[in-house]
Structure 1
Amino acid sequence: MPDGTKKPMRQRLLAPEASPPSTFLDPESMPWEESAFPGIRSKTLYSDPGGMCTLRLKLEPGAEVPLHEHTAIEQTYVLEGRFVDEEGECLPGQFVWRPAGNTHVAWAGPEGAVILSIFLKPNIFAAGQKFFTAEE
């Protein structure tokens, strides 16, 4: 509330219990974590046991996400740089989504890229790598 006092907990609309609280993050203050692929680091903003996750990814110039298949929809918003695959490229402020079954190799442009990606399930990689999954 504007005066600094806490609001009372709301009740759920569909059940006679308290509404679960929101989780607020400050991604700028979170450390970057190394990934299984050279030149790619991440910040996990959300993940659950079923494999759904929201990631902020930083790709160094030319860094590559090798051949993989999406097992559910993937959504990506480009924050900085250029994110490219065989079908096209996304620049800052642009968005791409890929359906389940889509296969591709993705890479950062010469300036690198920072992207926000939402995965409903983990991808399957041609070489068997584990990338942003609970089994990493």
Structure 2
Amino acid sequence: MPDGARKTMRQRLLAPEVSPPSVFLDPASMPWETSAFPGILSKTLYSDPSGMCTLLLKLEPGAVVPLHEHTAIEQTYVLEGTFLDEEGTCLPGQFVWRPAGNTHVAWAGPEGATILGVFLKPNVFAAGQKFFTAPD
């Protein structure tokens, strides 16, 4: 443990209160959840009432994220496989971000894809499907 690091709660620097604790997750031990989209599974790593979320998504080969619009910036990092849309292709270790208003269809390549997605707000789907973190 570095000098000065302790297992005590620190004081916030910007307010006279205790610093809120970090939240550690083990995504490998979390179950994959089915989604409204065939061949796409998800793990919710972070979600809050504003709609901001971080998702680990697993797409089977050829799985499609149907036509949708981004209501805020979306950031995607490809961990495995190929993730593509009409505008381009992302391979493992590559990153794409899409601005609010971007409308597209995305899909996994022939080997599937595992991606990390960061959403500031949920997407809106043309066919009315619910976003991954929307309540049932």
TM-score of the superposed pair, with normalisation by structure 1: 0.95
The letter for the 2-side match of 1:96 is V
**Equivalence for 2:57:** 57
User: Cα deviation per residue 1:95-116 (whole Å; 9 max; x = unaligned)?
Assistant: 0000000000000000000000
Alignment of 1:1-136 (within 5 A): 1=1, 7-136=7-136
Is the Cα contact below 8 Å between 2:69 and 2:124 reproduced in 1? Answer: yes
Same amino acid, percent of matched pairs: 85
Structure 2's unaligned 5+ residue stretches are: none
Is the Cα contact below 8 Å between 1:49 and 1:134 reproduced in 2? Answer: no
Q: What secondary structure sits across from 1:114 in the alignment? A: strand
Q: How far did residue 133 of structure 1 move?
A: 3.3
What is the count of residue pairs matched by the alignment? 134
Question: C-alpha separation between the residues in 2 aligned to 1:38 and 1:51?
Answer: 23
CA RMSD of aligned residues (A): 1.3
Is the Cα contact below 8 Å between 1:32 and 1:41 reproduced in 2? Answer: yes
User: Cα deviation per residue 1:51-90 (whole Å; 9 max; x = unaligned)?
Assistant: 1000000000000000000000000000000001000000
TM-score of the superposed pair, with normalisation by structure 2: 0.95
Question: C-alpha separation between the residues in 1 aligned to 2:28 and 2:133?
Answer: 23
